Structure 1
């Protein structure tokens, strides 16, 4: 059904149609009988899909990546499609509108998206309040945190600490986002010393609590091997739980789309990212001796793509752009594919 209506949806601005569809999902899920329908149509419950990772129990290894539900507005509704976990954000201390519109573009010839959203969100206080009121029903929720655009890099640590403290009691794990290409200067925080400072400071706060939360680092696919070696070293030194590989790319290599689309600035996601994100996962896994958890994301549009990530060394996986192009049925198809190869 989704493939029948997708051409109509793709006639409209990507950001506007995103709000239209998610709003419609919220309204529909309030109708009697819709939630049981979603469960029967989209969810796949099987003990063989369960994973013990990061000290947490996931009902399956497939999650929804950050960016889709920035403000934790639709967690209960999206959970109906069978995700094992949902990552909200990126959340910043203060609300911010993000970059000027238009800021999201479809590249149908490449089955890709370019976005330069710029961490548009309602701020950590609003998101934390919404999560406290949520009926989670065992769903694992990750909190992806970043800095405000107006915060200079030398003060960025304070932004990450505020988000960490405010979300600590309402998320199950944290993701430190220093790899988005859409906040000026943000990727400079991936350099060794500023990154160690942020991660060590968060870990210090983590240890002060009766319980600690797993902290992961989301990295760019555009890092060189030497930079990836630094990431491995930093993870071992700071003792964080692992990485999410990868964020969107600034590369435009090999695109089929017309230049009018491909020249748009921002982060590219979708099928063109599949190969590079898998390469990064494999490199980190092999060079580290599987020393930490890797959540694989980037270009997963099929069960085969998902299994490729898992075989490369990912323990969990996430989708976003594939969800847009393939529809909600992709979740169940991926899980069925994993069951076929699970030991």
Structure 2
């Protein structure tokens, strides 16, 4: 069924198709389940991290549903957890259009959206309604700073957004790695991240929320190692993890006609580097921090590669655009088979299995 839907959507501009899809999923969340077999994960795939139970490791990356308008539909697809955002304290329109591009031949996207969102208060109200409707699943919120907030005042933006969203989130992600907000990636230092964690700690501790820090794949390997080690040895290590990785500004060989567009590249071309970032961070953390892998996951083998490289959880985004809702079940069922094939009793046993190679 999705092949027919995709054919229609791909006749529209990428952002128009995105808006149309979100509107349809908001009105008819059950439709997401019609395009895929039910996902019934085995106990082998379940794990608990930071006190949260994940029936399987596959979740939705931030960016696809920035404002949290279609949350029930994502769970209908069988995703174990959903991350909405990026959300900033104040609403902002983002960058000028066009700002989202398909590279069909590469199964990739380039975006320069620029944290377009309704603002923390509006998103919080929406998530509160979703929870009241009986939403069943782990819900994360990705936080960012407003474009016009100087980096010297960035702590205030993350804290203000957290004040609004903490009551309705199961975890939060600190986004200091989007390439589409000028100067944001300058905040990716161990010193700033530790200062930021200190600034939000009073609010975070009030709600007992885990915090994930999302890194760019364009960091130098030594920078990734320093950040992972700093967090793993900090006073925050019991409730902090790393997401590896955001979109990239690098341009490997690409075939799509939009390959020269500026912005962050996601999808298949990011798979190898994002897995490498997982591996680097996991080796530096030495089991002291959980890792979430994100970037270029289209198959069970892709997810398994990230798990064996050190990721406990795996996020998808671009695969849903190109493969549709059925990709969730395909990955989950395939991952279960790969764990059984290799003799792992549960997914936790497979995490980091390749780190000593």
The residue aligned with 2:230 is 234
Task: Establish whether residue 158 from structure 1 lines up as the match of residue 156 from structure 2.
Answer: yes
Displacement of 1:161: 0.2
Per-residue displacement from partner, 1:84-123 (whole Å, max 9, x unpaired)? 0000100000000000000000011111000000000000
Match of 2:249 in 1: 250
1:323 to 307, 320, 325: 320
Matched residue SS, 2:102: strand
Query: Contact between 2:35 and 2:325, CA under 8 Å: does it hold in 1?
Result: no
User: Is the Cα–Cα contact under 8 Å of residues 116 and 265 in structure 1 kept in the other structure?
Assistant: yes
**Cα displacement (A) at 1:175:** 0.3
1:203-214 equivalent positions in 2, closer than 5 A: 203-207=201-205, 209=206, 211-214=207-210
- Please report how far the alpha carbon of residue 136 of structure 1 lies from its aligned counterpart in structure 2 after TM superposition: 4.2
Matches within 5 A, 1:176-187: 176-187=174-185
Cα offset for 1:235? 1.0
Alignment match, 1:297? 294
SS in 2 for 1:125: helix
Residue of structure 2 equivalent to 1:28: 28
Once the 2 structures are TM-superposed, how far is the Cα of residue 191 of structure 1 from its aligned partner? 2.3
Deviation larger for 263-272 or 281-290: 281-290
Deviation string 1:21-62 (CA, Å, 9 cap, x unpaired) is 2212233337xxx68x64973422433322111221112211
Structure 1 residue aligned with 2:8: 8
Distance in 2 separating the partners of 1:249 and 1:232: 19
In structure 2, the partner of 1:143 is 141
Equivalent position of 2:196 in the other structure: 198
1:122 aligns with 2:121: no
Structure 1: unaligned runs, 5 residues or longer: none
Distance in 1, Cα, partners of 2:40 & 2:315: 16
Counterpart CA distance in 2 for 1:250 and 1:39 is 33
Residue 222 to residue 117, structure 1, CA distance change in 2 (3 Å): same
What count of residue pairs does the alignment treat as equivalent? 335
| TM-score normalised by length of structure 2 | 0.90
SS in structure 2 of the partner of residue 292 of structure 1:
coil
Kept in 2, the 8 Å contact 1:39–1:80? The answer is no
Give the Cα–Cα distance (whole angstroms) in 1 for the partners of residues 178 and 2 of structure 2: 30
User: CA 1:222–1:320 in structure 2 vs 1: closer, same or farther (change >3 Å)?
Assistant: same
Cα offset for 1:263?
1.4
Pick closer, same or farther for the CA change 1:140–1:39 going to 2, 3 Å.
Answer: farther
Residue 116 of structure 2: SS of its match in structure 1? coil
Does residue 86 of structure 2 align to residue 90 of structure 1?
A: yes
Task: Name the SS of the counterpart of 1:169 in structure 2.
Answer: helix
Deviates more, 1:45-54 or 1:95-104: 45-54
- CA RMSD, Structure 1 to Structure 2 (Å): 1.7
Distance 1:253 1:132 in 2: 41
* Cα distance change of structure 1 residues 169 and 249 upon mapping to structure 2, 3 Å threshold: same
Kindly indicate whether the alpha-carbon contact (under 8 Å) linking 1:22 and 1:74 is maintained by their aligned counterparts in 2: yes
Separation in 1 of the partners of 2:241 and 2:139?
A: 16
Distance change (3 Å), C-alpha of 1:222 and 1:24: same
Q: Equivalent residue of 2:37, what SS?
A: helix
- What is the CA–CA distance in structure 1 between the aligned matches of 2:97 and 2:168, rounded to whole Å? 31
CA contact (8 A) 1:43 1:80 kept: no
Q: CA deviation at 1:164?
A: 1.1
SS in 1 for 2:28: helix
What SS does the corresponding residue of 2:168 show, helix, strand or coil? coil
State how far apart, in whole Å, the 2-side matches of 1:39 and 1:252 are. 33
The normalised TM-score by structure 1 is 0.93
